[in-house]
Amino acid sequence: MSIKIVPDVVAPLAVTAVDLVTEATAPNWNEWASYICAVGGYLGGFMGWGGDMVKNFGIASLPWAAKNIYERVRGTASASKRLNYRPVSKVSRYPAPAPDLPFQGVKLT
């Protein structure tokens, strides 16, 4: 059994490229891209679209999507990876006093 260049090598390289590009340019979409790649690849392979290339695209993206699912369930997803399901709570300074502003008591004459 030989290695076919396009399905066996290009598909994992394409998934890696999608991961690196979305992580660098749109980090909020990186998690969504992993799910789209995995579901799209498996669904395309199941429907017979694209042959081995699409099937291997889904297979290569499954560890990426599984890692994101694991981080989501575990609760360790970073702020840039959150899908904004819930609002981020703001930190309050109460009961600490507000700091003095510089030149607070100075009057200009």
Q: pTM score, two decimals? A: 0.65
Q: How many domains is the chain built from? A: 1
The neighbour count for residue 72, using CB atoms within 10 Å, is 15
In a domain, 85, yes or no: no
Which residue range(s) make up the domain with 61?
5-74
In a domain, 10, yes or no: yes
Token reading at 85: 């399901």
- Indicate the SS3 state at residue 61: helix
The neighbour count for residue 33, using CB atoms within 10 Å, is 20
- Per residue of the chain (109 residues), give pLDDT as tens: 788 888 899 999 999 999 999 999 999 999 999 999 999 999 999 999 988 999 999 999 999 999 999 988 888 655 555 555 544 455 555 666 666 777 777 887 7
